[in-house]
Amino acid sequence: MQDLSSLWQAVLDKLELTVSNISFVMWFKPLKVVDFVDNKKLIIAANSTSAKNQILRNYFDKLSTAVNDIFGDNIEIEVLDQNEEIDYIKTHGDSAKEKEVEVSKNPFNAKYTFDNFVVGKSNQFVYAAARAVAEHPGEKFNPLFIYGGVGLGKTHLLHAIGNYLKEFSPMLNVMYVTCEQFTNDYIESLGPASKSKAVNEFRSKYRNLDVLMVDDIQFISKKTSTQEEFFHTFNELYQNNKQIIITSDRPPKDIETLADRLRSRFTCGLIQDIQSPDLETRIAILRKKCQLEKYAIDDDVINFVAERINTNIRELEGMLSKIYFLANLSNKHSATMEEALEAFNGQLEEDRNEGLSPDDIIDTVCKYFDITRQDIVGKKKSKDVVEPRMIAIYLISEILEIPLVSIGKIFGGRDHTTIMHSRDKISDELKTSHKYQSFISEIKKMLKGG
């Protein structure tokens, strides 16, 4: 049991990471949680009718993703304006603050099943492997290592395996963790309190599993102790023919932080990639989504969206729900091209990087670190200059997508490999270093005028 306000705070924390600073402060921060009815329906109040409409119109998909992450799946959300809130409290009382909430225990998302996974050329092999593993855990491909870009269905497949096992082999002890959870769990077990007991608990939790799934292993830290622990967990399970399934955004050979002996363990089973879906598959995925969510959306809209978003399936789905909500707002039975065009336009407006130049980024980074422009593009090698320089290079490359050679010219004629090295160094640091994460997010805020 947890109290409603701390759960709501967790939703806000998530949202803060996914929307711009301005949107967060304007639209999300003022929201209040009013009630949570029957563990199913979350009632939220905005402080004006226009704020309510903004949320429904532009941010509903982000809001519902965050709510589902924290409260569990299939939570219905109702947004009230200030008058509706007063009415609500009049009839139902103001009990939200003390409310205790049962958060759903099933770790597997009910929507992420094999049935809901659309199979096409890009993912047919990985689908077959995941199914085989679900049907014969520990017997077919062990470990199964799945890799591919963001939003291509890796997590979906892990949950599908989990849901399948829960249904057909309910007595098996199945665990899904993100790499981050595994790491935190381990580090916590090393805490001051009754040391060895906590470590033993950690070990018995992880080493007595029938199936262990670790999502996003690329975030495994360089720390030898964590890798060591994972290595032993892996061996123990593997030797007992227990199934291990791992995902990553890249193949084992490209995970720089990975110790060689773990890397070679991963290669003893099946390593299978998942690729970006082709147009036909994207259309099929959108159709499936309409069917699951009961969206009425015109065929030309589906084609339009599928043609424009071609890599990340999460974005594909996000755009579809945005279009659906726009149609809903204007009380239409079915979403048409009108809403599709509006939805894509909104996205462009939100993209405030338009109009930024490399100079803007350089100036902002200089201001942030309190150094001069000559320093940052010049030859100085002291740490207080090198670090900002790499950050500026990273930001220019990431935000403006300018070719490395051109960035080299801006930075006093540096070679493109030097530029690439700087960019990669920062993007590596960002995976683990809070210091760099806050540098980048604060500079981005400044760039957005925040």
The SS3 of residue 170 is coil
Q: Considering the rule CB under 6 A, would residue 151 count as an interface residue with ligand ADP?
A: yes
Binding partner at 423 among ligand ADP, Mg ion, none, C-beta below 5 to 8 Å by kind: none
- The DSSP code sequence of 282-330 is HHHHHHHHHHHHT--B-HHHHHHHHHH--S-HHHHHHHHHHHHHHHHHT
CA distance 340 to 324: 9
Q: Considering the rule CB under 5 A, would residue 233 count as an interface residue with Mg ion?
A: no
Q: Considering the rule CB under 6 A, would residue 71 count as an interface residue with ligand ADP?
A: no
CB contact at 8 A, 361 and 395: yes
Q: Considering the rule CB under 5 A, would residue 397 count as an interface residue with Mg ion?
A: no
Q: Which two tokens stand for residue 440?
A: 């980048």
The two beta strands, 32-37 and 144-147, are unpaired
Binding partner at 112 among Mg ion, ligand ADP, none, C-beta below 5 to 8 Å by kind: ligand ADP
Pick one of 285, 297, 385, 419: the residue that binds ligand ADP (CB under 6 A): 285
Q: Which two tokens stand for residue 179?
A: 């790499």
Q: Which of 177, 296, 181 is nearest to 245 (CA)?
A: 177
Q: Considering the rule CB under 6 A, would residue 156 count as an interface residue with ligand ADP?
A: yes
Give the N- to C-terminal CA distance of the chain in Å, as an integer.
Answer: 37
CA distance 386 to 390: 6
Pick one of 155, 226, 243, 272: the residue that binds ligand ADP (CB under 6 A): 155
Q: Considering the rule CB under 5 A, would residue 123 count as an interface residue with Mg ion?
A: no
Q: Considering the rule CB under 5 A, would residue 163 count as an interface residue with Mg ion?
A: no
Of residues 46 and 246, the one with the C-beta less far from Mg ion? 246
Q: Which stretch binds ligand ADP (CB under 6 A): 16-24, 49-57, 112-120, 192-200?
A: 112-120
Q: Which of 328, 395, 313, 405 is nearest to 362 (CA)?
A: 395
Q: Considering the rule CB under 5 A, would residue 155 count as an interface residue with Mg ion?
A: yes
- The DSSP code sequence of 22-39 is HHIIIIITT-EEEEEETT
Pick one of 96, 152, 340, 393: the residue that binds ligand ADP (CB under 6 A): 152
- The DSSP code sequence of 345-378 is HHHHHH-TTTT--HHHHHHHHHHHHT--HHHHHS
**Please, which contacts does 254-259 make with residues 24 or more away whose CB atoms are closer than 8 Å?**
255/217, 255/218, 255/220, 256/428, 257/218, 257/220, 257/221, 257/222, 258/217, 258/220, 258/227, 259/224, 259/227, 259/231
Of residues 188 and 307, the one with the C-beta less far from ligand ADP? 307
Of residues 42 and 152, the one with the C-beta less far from ligand ADP? 152
**Please, which contacts does 231-234 make with residues 24 or more away whose CB atoms are closer than 8 Å?**
231/259, 231/261, 231/262, 231/265, 233/203, 233/206, 233/207, 234/143, 234/262, 234/265
Pick one of 42, 96, 118, 160: the residue that binds ligand ADP (CB under 6 A): 118
Q: Considering the rule CB under 6 A, would residue 153 count as an interface residue with ligand ADP?
A: yes
Site for Mg ion in 135-154 (CB under 5 A): 154
The SS3 of residue 169 is coil
Q: Considering the rule CB under 6 A, would residue 318 count as an interface residue with ligand ADP?
A: no
Q: Considering the rule CB under 6 A, would residue 15 count as an interface residue with ligand ADP?
A: no
Q: Which two tokens stand for residue 12?
A: 């806000």
Of residues 314 and 332, the one with the C-beta less far from ligand ADP? 314
Query: Measured at CB, which residue is nearest to ligand ADP?
Result: 153
Task: State the minimum distance, in angstroms, from the CB of residue 68 to Mg ion.
Answer: 14
Of residues 315 and 442, the one with the C-beta less far from Mg ion? 315
Of residues 52 and 154, the one with the C-beta less far from Mg ion? 154
Of residues 221 and 276, the one with the C-beta less far from ligand ADP? 276
Half-sphere exposure at residue 129, Cβ-oriented, CA atoms within 13 angstroms: 25
Task: State the minimum distance, in angstroms, from the CB of residue 176 to ligand ADP.
Answer: 12
Of residues 155 and 233, the one with the C-beta less far from Mg ion? 155
Q: Considering the rule CB under 6 A, would residue 123 count as an interface residue with ligand ADP?
A: yes
Q: Considering the rule CB under 6 A, would residue 295 count as an interface residue with ligand ADP?
A: no
Binding partner at 407 among Mg ion, ligand ADP, none, C-beta below 5 to 8 Å by kind: none
Q: Considering the rule CB under 6 A, would residue 126 count as an interface residue with ligand ADP?
A: no
Q: Considering the rule CB under 6 A, would residue 305 count as an interface residue with ligand ADP?
A: no
List contacts with ligand ADP (CB under 6 A). Answer: 112, 116-118, 123, 150-156, 285, 288, 313-314, 317
